[in-house]
Protein backbone atom coordinates (compact mmCIF):
# COMPACT_ATOMS: atom_id res chain seq x y z
CA UNK A 1 0.00 0.00 0.00
CA UNK A 2 1.51 3.32 -1.07
CA UNK A 3 2.07 6.13 1.38
CA UNK A 4 3.61 6.47 4.80
CA UNK A 5 2.25 5.04 8.02
CA UNK A 6 1.07 7.88 10.21
CA UNK A 7 0.69 8.31 13.96
CA UNK A 8 -2.94 8.62 15.08
CA UNK A 9 -4.52 9.74 18.35
CA UNK A 10 -8.20 8.89 18.87
CA UNK A 11 -10.72 10.80 21.00
CA UNK A 12 -13.84 8.99 22.21
CA UNK A 13 -16.69 9.14 24.69
CA UNK A 14 -18.47 5.81 24.37
CA UNK A 15 -18.34 2.15 23.41
CA UNK A 16 -15.46 2.48 20.97
CA UNK A 17 -16.89 0.51 18.05
CA UNK A 18 -15.34 2.98 15.63
CA UNK A 19 -12.01 2.66 17.41
CA UNK A 20 -12.21 -1.15 17.35
CA UNK A 21 -12.77 -1.10 13.61
CA UNK A 22 -9.66 1.03 13.13
CA UNK A 23 -7.64 -1.22 15.47
CA UNK A 24 -8.74 -4.28 13.49
CA UNK A 25 -7.72 -2.65 10.21
CA UNK A 26 -4.42 -1.58 11.74
CA UNK A 27 -3.74 -5.18 12.78
CA UNK A 28 -4.55 -6.48 9.29
CA UNK A 29 -2.36 -3.87 7.60
CA UNK A 30 -5.28 -2.17 5.85
CA UNK A 31 -4.91 1.08 7.80
CA UNK A 32 -1.96 3.26 6.90
CA UNK A 33 -1.46 4.35 10.47
CA UNK A 34 -0.84 3.28 14.04
CA UNK A 35 -3.07 4.41 16.89
CA UNK A 36 -0.55 5.64 19.45
CA UNK A 37 -2.91 7.00 22.08
CA UNK A 38 -6.59 7.21 23.03
CA UNK A 39 -8.26 9.90 25.14
CA UNK A 40 -11.65 9.26 26.74
CA UNK A 41 -13.93 12.04 27.95
CA UNK A 42 -15.64 9.65 30.39
CA UNK A 43 -13.94 7.31 32.85
CA UNK A 44 -16.35 4.49 32.03
CA UNK A 45 -16.09 4.71 28.24
CA UNK A 46 -15.69 1.13 27.03
CA UNK A 47 -13.55 2.36 24.16
CA UNK A 48 -10.76 2.81 26.70
CA UNK A 49 -10.95 -0.91 27.52
CA UNK A 50 -10.73 -1.75 23.83
CA UNK A 51 -7.62 0.44 23.53
CA UNK A 52 -5.94 -1.11 26.57
CA UNK A 53 -6.71 -4.60 25.27
CA UNK A 54 -4.84 -3.64 22.10
CA UNK A 55 -1.89 -2.30 24.08
CA UNK A 56 -2.62 1.34 23.23
CA UNK A 57 -1.88 3.99 25.91
CA UNK A 58 -4.98 5.74 27.24
CA UNK A 59 -5.84 8.86 29.19
CA UNK A 60 -9.08 10.16 30.69
CA UNK A 61 -9.80 13.90 30.43
CA UNK A 62 -13.29 14.66 31.67
CA UNK A 63 -15.10 17.79 30.60
CA UNK A 64 -16.76 18.08 34.00
CA UNK A 65 -13.35 18.43 35.66
CA UNK A 66 -12.76 21.71 33.83
CA UNK A 67 -14.50 25.06 34.33
CA UNK A 68 -14.95 25.83 30.64
CA UNK A 69 -14.35 24.53 27.13
CA UNK A 70 -11.08 26.46 26.84
CA UNK A 71 -9.58 24.73 29.88
CA UNK A 72 -10.87 21.34 28.73
CA UNK A 73 -9.48 21.89 25.24
CA UNK A 74 -6.10 22.98 26.61
CA UNK A 75 -5.85 19.75 28.60
CA UNK A 76 -6.68 17.72 25.49
CA UNK A 77 -4.07 19.56 23.45
CA UNK A 78 -1.39 19.04 26.09
CA UNK A 79 -1.97 15.28 26.17
CA UNK A 80 -2.28 14.94 22.40
CA UNK A 81 1.03 16.71 21.88
CA UNK A 82 2.78 14.22 24.17
CA UNK A 83 1.95 11.48 21.65
CA UNK A 84 3.11 13.58 18.67
CA UNK A 85 0.46 12.47 16.18
CA UNK A 86 0.17 13.24 12.49
CA UNK A 87 -3.63 12.95 12.70
CA UNK A 88 -6.27 13.16 15.43
CA UNK A 89 -9.51 11.23 14.87
CA UNK A 90 -12.73 11.78 16.78
CA UNK A 91 -14.26 8.33 17.20
CA UNK A 92 -17.57 9.00 18.88
CA UNK A 93 -16.29 12.03 20.79
CA UNK A 94 -19.25 13.92 22.26
CA UNK A 95 -17.49 17.09 23.42
CA UNK A 96 -16.57 20.30 21.67
CA UNK A 97 -12.80 20.57 21.23
CA UNK A 98 -11.41 24.00 20.45
CA UNK A 99 -8.19 22.98 18.79
CA UNK A 100 -5.05 25.11 18.44
CA UNK A 101 -4.15 26.60 15.05
CA UNK A 102 -1.38 24.05 14.49
CA UNK A 103 -3.96 21.25 14.42
CA UNK A 104 -5.95 22.76 11.54
CA UNK A 105 -6.36 20.17 8.81
CA UNK A 106 -5.14 17.42 11.15
CA UNK A 107 -8.35 16.57 13.04
CA UNK A 108 -11.07 14.38 11.55
CA UNK A 109 -14.57 13.59 12.74
CA UNK A 110 -17.19 11.14 11.53
CA UNK A 111 -20.90 11.92 11.70
CA UNK A 112 -23.76 9.43 11.15
CA UNK A 113 -25.63 11.52 8.57
CA UNK A 114 -25.02 13.29 5.29
CA UNK A 115 -23.83 16.71 6.39
CA UNK A 116 -24.77 19.53 6.29
CA UNK A 117 -28.13 17.89 7.09
CA UNK A 118 -28.78 16.58 10.61
CA UNK A 119 -25.66 18.01 12.23
CA UNK A 120 -24.80 20.48 14.95
CA UNK A 121 -25.07 20.62 18.73
CA UNK A 122 -27.40 17.97 20.13
CA UNK A 123 -27.58 16.03 16.87
CA UNK A 124 -25.58 12.91 17.66
CA UNK A 125 -26.06 9.16 17.91
CA UNK A 126 -29.67 7.98 17.86
CA UNK A 127 -30.91 11.59 17.84
CA UNK A 128 -29.62 11.76 14.26
CA UNK A 129 -31.36 8.59 13.09
CA UNK A 130 -34.60 9.58 14.81
CA UNK A 131 -34.50 12.92 12.96
CA UNK A 132 -33.77 11.26 9.61
CA UNK A 133 -36.78 8.95 10.03
CA UNK A 134 -39.03 11.77 11.26
CA UNK A 135 -38.23 13.76 8.11
CA UNK A 136 -39.08 10.85 5.84
CA UNK A 137 -35.65 10.74 4.22
CA UNK A 138 -35.15 8.02 1.62
CA UNK A 139 -31.38 7.91 2.03
CA UNK A 140 -28.96 8.53 4.88
CA UNK A 141 -25.31 7.77 5.38
CA UNK A 142 -22.18 9.09 7.03
CA UNK A 143 -19.74 11.95 6.60
CA UNK A 144 -16.04 12.16 7.41
CA UNK A 145 -14.89 15.75 7.63
CA UNK A 146 -12.04 17.85 8.90
CA UNK A 147 -13.08 19.27 12.27
CA UNK A 148 -13.03 22.94 13.12
CA UNK A 149 -14.10 24.67 16.33
CA UNK A 150 -17.82 24.12 15.70
CA UNK A 151 -19.95 20.99 15.70
CA UNK A 152 -20.04 19.19 12.33
CA UNK A 153 -18.99 22.21 10.26
CA UNK A 154 -15.58 21.41 8.78
CA UNK A 155 -14.79 20.58 5.13
CA UNK A 156 -16.19 17.24 3.96
CA UNK A 157 -13.72 14.51 2.96
CA UNK A 158 -15.80 11.38 2.31
CA UNK A 159 -19.52 10.59 2.29
CA UNK A 160 -21.09 7.14 1.89
CA UNK A 161 -24.80 6.49 1.67
CA UNK A 162 -27.22 3.95 3.15
CA UNK A 163 -30.85 3.43 2.13
CA UNK A 164 -33.66 4.25 4.54
CA UNK A 165 -36.26 1.46 4.55
CA UNK A 166 -39.97 1.75 5.22
CA UNK A 167 -39.76 -0.45 8.31
CA UNK A 168 -36.61 1.13 9.76
CA UNK A 169 -36.22 1.96 13.42
CA UNK A 170 -33.45 4.20 14.74
CA UNK A 171 -31.60 1.03 15.75
CA UNK A 172 -31.84 -0.69 12.38
CA UNK A 173 -30.87 2.47 10.50
CA UNK A 174 -27.97 3.06 12.87
CA UNK A 175 -26.55 -0.40 12.12
CA UNK A 176 -26.78 0.14 8.37
CA UNK A 177 -25.11 3.54 8.64
CA UNK A 178 -22.40 2.10 10.90
CA UNK A 179 -21.49 -0.37 8.15
CA UNK A 180 -20.73 2.62 5.94
CA UNK A 181 -18.85 4.40 8.72
CA UNK A 182 -16.55 1.40 9.00
CA UNK A 183 -15.63 1.90 5.32
CA UNK A 184 -15.55 5.69 5.19
CA UNK A 185 -13.22 6.45 8.11
CA UNK A 186 -10.33 4.23 7.08
CA UNK A 187 -10.72 5.48 3.51
CA UNK A 188 -10.34 9.08 4.66
CA UNK A 189 -7.43 8.22 6.95
CA UNK A 190 -5.58 6.40 4.19
CA UNK A 191 -6.11 9.30 1.79
CA UNK A 192 -4.62 11.60 4.43
CA UNK A 193 -1.66 9.25 4.94
CA UNK A 194 -1.07 9.23 1.18
CA UNK A 195 -0.99 13.03 1.10
CA UNK A 196 -3.96 13.10 -1.27
CA UNK A 197 -6.20 15.55 0.59
CA UNK A 198 -6.01 19.27 -0.18
CA UNK A 199 -8.28 21.75 1.58
CA UNK A 200 -9.45 24.67 -0.57
CA UNK A 201 -11.78 26.77 1.55
CA UNK A 202 -14.77 24.55 2.33
CA UNK A 203 -13.84 21.99 -0.31
CA UNK A 204 -11.51 19.02 0.12
CA UNK A 205 -9.89 17.96 -3.15
CA UNK A 206 -8.87 14.30 -3.45
CA UNK A 207 -5.69 14.26 -5.47
CA UNK A 208 -4.86 11.42 -7.89
CA UNK A 209 -2.32 8.80 -6.93
Q: What confidence tens digit (pLDDT) does each residue in 54-104 have?
A: 999 999 999 999 999 999 999 999 999 999 999 999 999 999 999 999 999
H or E stretch at 36: strand 33-40
| CB-CB neighbours of 105 under 10 Å | 17
C-alpha 102 chain-centroid distance: 19
- State the pTM of this model: 0.94
pLDDT at residue 1 greater than cutoff 70: no
Q: What confidence tens digit (pLDDT) does each residue in 118-130 have?
A: 887 777 788 999 9
Domains, in order of start, for the chain: 1-103 (3.40.50.170), 110-209 (3.40.50.170)
H or E stretch at 106: none
Question: Active site residue: 66, 111, 129, 145, which one?
Answer: 111
Q: What SS3 class is residue 108?
A: strand
Active site residue 145: no
Comparing C-alpha atoms, which of 66, 179, 45 is closest to residue 10?
45
Contact 24, 31 (CB under 8 A): no
Q: What confidence tens digit (pLDDT) does each residue in 145-189 have?
A: 999 988 888 999 999 999 999 999 999 999 999 999 999 999 999
pLDDT at residue 2 greater than cutoff 60: no
Amino acid sequence: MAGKKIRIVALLSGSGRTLQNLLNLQASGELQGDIVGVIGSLSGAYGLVRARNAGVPTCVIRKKDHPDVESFSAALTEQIQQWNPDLIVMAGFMCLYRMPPQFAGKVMNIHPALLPSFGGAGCYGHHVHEAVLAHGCKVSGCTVHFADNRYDCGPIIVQLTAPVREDDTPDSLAERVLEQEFKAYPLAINLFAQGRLRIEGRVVRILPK
